[in-house]
Amino acid sequence: MKTLVAVKRDATIHWVGNGFPVRTLFSHQSLGQWISPFLMLDYAGPAEFAPSDEPRGVGEHPHRGFETVTIVYQGELEHHDSAGNHGKIGPGDVQWMTAASGVVHEEWHEQAFAKRGGVLEMVQLWVNLPAKDKMSPPRYQELLSQQIPVVDLDGAGTARVIAGELRGTKGPAATFTPLNVWDLRLKPGHRIELNFPAGSTTLFLVLKGKSLLNETEPIGQAELAVFDREEGSITVETQEEDSTLLVLSGEPIDEPVASHGPFVMNTQAEIHQAISDYRSGKMGHLVAPS
C-alpha cells in the first residue's frame, strides 16, 4: 500500500468575489512539491443562495502560467474570457481553461440560476504547466457531463474519468503533462482498491460522506489525504452513507515555482513581466458576448 504522508483538515471558509464561499483544501504554499503538478484546490459550498436579479461571482481578472479546472456538483456557472470563449456549465460539467501565456476572464453564477436561487457546490483546481508550455496560446475545453465516461467499480460505485485513464477508459480532457482526475461516487459499506505507478503525486479529497483509507485513516467532508510517490495501491472503505471523492494523480513537474496572485511562473522576473503585460493590455480585454 502507498504510505499516507499527511491529512489536511479544518480548512476555513473565505469568500472569492461575492459568489464563492470556499475552503482552500491545498495550495503550493502549504504543501510545495508534494502536490505537483497541482497547485491549489478551492472547494466552494455546498452553499444556499437566495434568488437575485444580480448574478454573484468574480469580475474581470487575469491568469498566466497554469490551468484552471472547474467541476460543478450543484448549481450553474457562466464563464467569459478575453480569448472569446463564453460557456455555461451545470452539474457534472467541467470547464478546463488553459491560461498559459495569459487570459483575462470572469466567472459568475449563471443568470437563470441566480434568478431562481439554489445550492452551489463546485471545486476549482489549479494545474501547473511546465516552463516550455507556460507561454503557449490560451485554450478552453468545455467538457459536458455526457462527454465524460463512467467506469463501474465492481458494484461499489462509479468513477467519472475527467482526465487520464482508469481501467482502460480514457478521459476527454487534453493535458500538457500526464495526470488523472477521477470523480468517484461510492455506495455505503463498500471497499475499492486503486493502483498508482511509482513517481506519481496522489491526492484524495472527500467532498461527501466518510471513508476509511488504507484500513486505518478516517477521512470526511472537505478533507484531503496526501500519499507518497512510491508504487502501490490505496483502499477506500465507505461508511454508512453515499460518498463523493475526487482523486488526483500525476507526474510531478520538477521545476521552480514562482507565484504572485493569479500568475504562476518559474522566476520572479517572469512574474514581473506578467504583471507588466497584464497592465499594458497584452493579455487581452473582455468583450461582451453576443
Cα of first residue to Cα of last residue in the chain, in angstroms, is: 53
| Cis geometry, peptide bond prior to residue 138 (ω within 30 degrees of 0) | no
Q: Which residues of the chain have pLDDT under 70?
A: 288-290
Q: Quick one: pLDDT at residue 288?
A: 61
- Cα-flanking dihedrals φ and ψ of residue 176, to 5°? -85, -30
Name the DSSP letter for residue 69.
E
CB atoms within 10 A of CB 284: 17
Cell of residue 220, nine digits: 470526511
Gap between the Cα atoms of 195 and 189, Å rounded: 20
Gap between the Cα atoms of 240 and 243, Å rounded: 9
**C-alpha atoms less than 13 angstroms from C-alpha of 24 in its C-beta half-sphere:** 13
Alpha helices in 71-163 (DSSP H): 111-116
**DSSP string spanning 37-61?**
TEEEEEEEEEEEE---SS--EEEEE
Q: Quick one: pLDDT at residue 289?
A: 55
Q: Quick one: pLDDT at residue 95?
A: 97
61 carries a ligand binding annotation: yes
pLDDT in tens, 120-179: 999 999 999 999 999 999 999 999 999 999 999 999 999 999 999 999 999 999 999 999
Q: Which residue has the cell 475552503?
A: 23
**Residue 172 CA to chain centroid, in angstroms?**
15
Q: Quick one: pLDDT at residue 57?
A: 96
190 carries a ligand binding annotation: no
107 carries a ligand binding annotation: yes
Q: List, in order, residues 6 or more apart from 279 with CB less than 8 Å away.
A: none
β-bridge partners, 243 = 186
